[in-house]
Amino acid sequence: MKIDYIVKGELWRSIAVYFLFLFLIITLDHKGYISIDGLTTIILAFFFTVIVFSLLVWYRRKEQLLNPSIFLIINHIFESESYIEKTTEPHENEKISISSSIQKNMLLLIVTMLLYIVYLYASLTYHIDQIFWTLFLLFMGIALSKVIYGERKADQKDPMRLLFFYVIACAFIFVRYLVLDYPILPILKGSMILGLLLVLLVFGIKLSHRKQNSDN
């Protein structure tokens, strides 16, 4: 079986990514933030590596990035809009990139981050009621939906945006559990199972779309 250049490059990168996640999980375990056995540590590191591998392969193929440099990829994600994007309005059914959608809603993302920091500080200092976390979750869900999905129907049908939404939402939740010293293992296991199901669902949808396009 022939493996394309991008997949081969990301497979090599995944070795380093896997050991990085392994080191981070072991460190969290030793610090007492989580308590997991050796097998779960290995599986968890592999799970996060698969997510990173899948996202990088998808993005590099989509943007035709043959250079494997992670700095170039990160710079490409956050670089300013091209001249064409600045001077032309996308067609109603034309997709725009996730990075462009984030840039257009950067103020909303910054406000969400500031509210999140204020909530964490208030929780540590004043032990505020759980209802405020519920309210923030509702606000975060609405804000992230607007930031990632935008308002265009063509973008809202992109299944990969669901993975981005899930990863960012999990990051908010995990940081809260770590900062407030809550037991993180149960929610970590649940998010891992749900994340794996989402990855399978998204790739199933992508394969279905690719098959339909090839038939047409």
**Strands (DSSP E) found in 122-213:** none
Q: Given the structure tokens 């392994």, which residue do they identify? A: 22
- Reported as half-sphere exposure (CB side, CA atoms, 13 A), residue 72 has a value of 8
User: Do residues 104 and 74 both lie within one domain?
Assistant: no
Q: Are residues 186 and 215 in the same domain?
A: yes
The answer to whether residue 177 is domain-embedded is yes
Same domain, 140 and 206: yes
The predicted pLDDT at position 1 comes to 42
Mean pLDDT value across the chain? 78
Q: Is the pTM of this model over 0.85?
A: no
The pLDDT of residue 8 is 86
Buried/exposed code over 82-111 (b: 16+ C-beta within 10 A; e: otherwise): eeeeeeeeeeeeebbbbbbbbbbbeeebee
Among residues 47, 79, 111, which one ends one of the domains?
79
- Residue 162 has a pLDDT of 82
Do 145 and 204 reside in the same domain of the chain?
yes
Q: Tell me, yes or no, whether 66 and 33 share the same domain.
A: yes
Q: How many domains does the chain have?
A: 2
Residue 86 in any domain: the answer is no
Same domain, 48 and 120: no
Residues 118 and 180 in one domain: yes
In a domain, 93, yes or no: no
The DSSP 8-state label assigned to residue 3 in this structure reads: P
Phi and psi (nearest 5°) for 150?
70, -160
pLDDT tens digit sequence for 51-69: 888 888 888 888 888 888 8
Q: Which residues of the chain have pLDDT under 70?
A: 1-3, 33, 77-100, 103, 150-157, 213-216
* C-beta separation of 29 from 42 below 8 A: no
- Distance, in Å, from the CA atom of 151 to the CA atom of 89, rounded to the nearest integer, reads 14
Residue 95 within any structural domain of the chain: no
* Whether the Cβ atoms of residue 76 and residue 63 lie closer than 8 Å to each other: yes
In a domain, 199, yes or no: yes
The pLDDT of residue 87: 44
**Is 133 in the same domain as 207?**
yes
Same domain membership, residue 104 and residue 60: no
- 176 part of a folded domain: yes
Q: How far apart are CA 96 and CA 100, in angstroms?
A: 7
Residues ≥6 apart with Cβ < 8 Å to 135: none
Domain boundary among 22, 49, 79: 79
Q: Do 106 and 210 share a domain, yes or no?
A: yes
Mark whether 44 and 114 lie in a shared domain.
no
Residue-number span of the structural domain to which 34 is assigned: 1-79
Whether 21 contacts 49, CB under 8 Å: yes
Give the separation between CA 89 and CA 75, rounded to whole angstroms: 23
Same domain, 54 and 10: yes
How deeply is 53 buried, as exposed, middle or buried, from its count of CB atoms within 10 A (0-12, 13-18, 19+)?
middle
Amino acid, single-letter form, for residue 109: L
Amino acid sitting at position 61: R
> 106: which residues sit within 8 A by CB, 6+ positions away?
none
pLDDT number for residue 82? 43
